[in-house]
């Protein structure tokens, strides 16, 4: 039986990274009489490189402070503006690698919170819980962009069934040929080059959900991913996470009432969680397979 010996070189430092998480930034593009525009972001930065000394001896000579990373986000918003989150993330990631000889890879993750103008000038309304996302990896293998959307809540009142499933002694769920199908979509998609049109990809997800007669949420997931690949030829693969927001018919018989699929109880948990990736049936180039 082996035991740990003090002073023995039993351990080594594995993969590591550091950065500044969740820098909140709101940029107002002043439009004068034409009205203002708001960009509301949550930016996280992670860096990798020759950083072992900081972990092993506390030598910080290769460490760019995370506070500096935060300040860079704010400065870039002023100096370069924010056109789209993919471009902003790429600009930041490329800067950290180019400006720091000890940093070899950078990942910038951004969440964008949508606002709609109320009066066309200076007043805005937060547009629900849906969030646009982008993650940019930059390093020796080039730049890779993964875009997406989270919290996209969709519901259809019919055109959904669920039956023919496995039953054992613990099964109580009844089969149904007419049910509410609801989910909160978390989706990401990646390309080999320039980012895909996010609005077009989102529209494809919504259209597929609405237009698919569903016999299972798994089937709907595949149709949603396939629609993005059809509509956005530059996309290599789509990853989807679809929690099943269950809606159960309320038994109104004790009150002498029928319930022809009209009154439901919306359960938030526990919930089914359906996840999967839809990709093109071709070899993905090695240079775009790497992940941070």
**123 shares its domain with 229:** no
Of 50, 45, 43, 44, nearest to 16 (Cα)?
50
Domain assignment present for 279: yes
Full residue range of the structural domain in which residue 32 is found: 17-140
Whether residue 123 sits in one domain with residue 245 = no
Residues 276 and 155 in one domain: yes
Question: Is 184 part of any domain?
Answer: yes
Same domain, 111 and 179: no
Same domain, 267 and 215: yes
Q: Which helix (H) or strand (E) holds 218?
A: helix 217-231
Q: Is residue 291 part of a domain?
A: no
Tell me which DSSP letter residue 21 carries: -
**Is residue 156 among the annotated active site residues?**
no
Q: Which is the catalytic residue, given 66, 102, 141, 247?
A: 66
- The four Cα atoms 61, 67, 71, 74 give a dihedral, to 10 degrees, of 140
Q: What is the pLDDT of residue 85?
A: 97
Q: Per the structure block, which two tokens stand in for 104?
A: 């070899």
Give the whole-angstrom CA distance, residue 72 versus residue 45. Answer: 10
Indicate if 79 and 117 belong to the same structural domain.
yes
In a domain, 256, yes or no: yes
Q: Identify the active-site residue in 145, 246, 277, 291.
A: 246
In a domain, 109, yes or no: yes
Q: What per-residue confidence (pLDDT) applies to 34? A: 82
Question: Bridge-partner residues for 238, per DSSP?
Answer: 189, 278
163/280 same-domain check: yes
**Model-level pTM?**
0.90
Active-site entry in 3, 9, 20, 23? 20
- As for how many domains the chain has, the answer is 2
- What is residue 162's DSSP assignment? B
| Residue 146: inside a domain | no
Q: Are residues 26 and 111 in the same domain?
A: yes
The string of DSSP codes covering 220-245 is HHHHHHHHHHHH-TTEEEEEEEEEE-
The pLDDT tens digits along the chain (292 residues) read: 445 556 666 899 999 999 999 999 999 999 877 899 999 999 999 999 999 999 999 999 999 999 999 999 999 999 999 999 999 999 999 999 999 999 999 999 999 999 999 998 999 999 878 999 999 999 998 999 999 999 999 999 999 999 999 999 999 999 999 999 999 999 999 988 889 999 999 999 999 999 999 999 999 999 999 999 999 999 999 999 999 999 999 999 999 999 999 999 999 999 999 999 999 987 666 655 555 5
What CATH number does the domain containing 117 carry? 3.10.270.10
Is residue 246 flagged as an active site residue?
yes
> 137 catalytic, yes or no?
no
């Amino acid at each position: 039986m082996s035991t740990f010996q003090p002073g023995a070189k039993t351990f080594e430092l594995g993969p590591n990274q550091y950065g500044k998480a969740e820098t909140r930034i709101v940029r107002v593009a002043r439009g004068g009489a034409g009205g203002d525009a708001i960009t509301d972001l949550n930016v996280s930065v992670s860096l990798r490189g020759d950083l072992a000394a900081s972990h092993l001896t506390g030598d910080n000579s290769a460490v760019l402070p995370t506070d500096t990373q935060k300040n860079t986000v704010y400065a870039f918003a002023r100096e370069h503006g924010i056109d789209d989150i993919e471009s902003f993330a790429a600009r930041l990631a490329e800067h950290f690698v180019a400006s720091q000889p000890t940093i070899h890879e950078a990942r910038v993750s951004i969440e964008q919170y949508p606002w709609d103008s109320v009066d066309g000038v200076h007043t805005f309304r937060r547009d629900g819980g849906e969030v646009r996302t982008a993650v940019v990896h930059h390093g020796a293998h080039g730049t890779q962009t993964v875009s997406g959307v989270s919290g996209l809540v969709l519901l259809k009142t019919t055109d959904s069934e669920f039956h023919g499933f496995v039953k054992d002694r613990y099964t109580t769920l009844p089969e149904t040929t007419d049910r509410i199908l609801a989910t909160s979509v978390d989706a990401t998609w990646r390309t080999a080059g320039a980012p895909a049109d996010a609005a077009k990809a989102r529209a494809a997800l919504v259209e597929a959900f609405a237009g698919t007669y569903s016999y299972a949420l798994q089937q709907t997931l595949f149709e949603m991913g396939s629609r993005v690949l059809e509509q956005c030829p530059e996309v290599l693969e789509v990853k989807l996470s679809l929690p099943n927001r269950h809606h159960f018919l309320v038994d109104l018989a004790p009150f002498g009432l029928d319930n022809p699929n009209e009154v439901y109880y919306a359960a938030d948990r526990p919930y089914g969680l359906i996840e999967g990736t839809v990709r093109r049936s071709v070899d993905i180039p090695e240079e775009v397979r790497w992940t941070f």
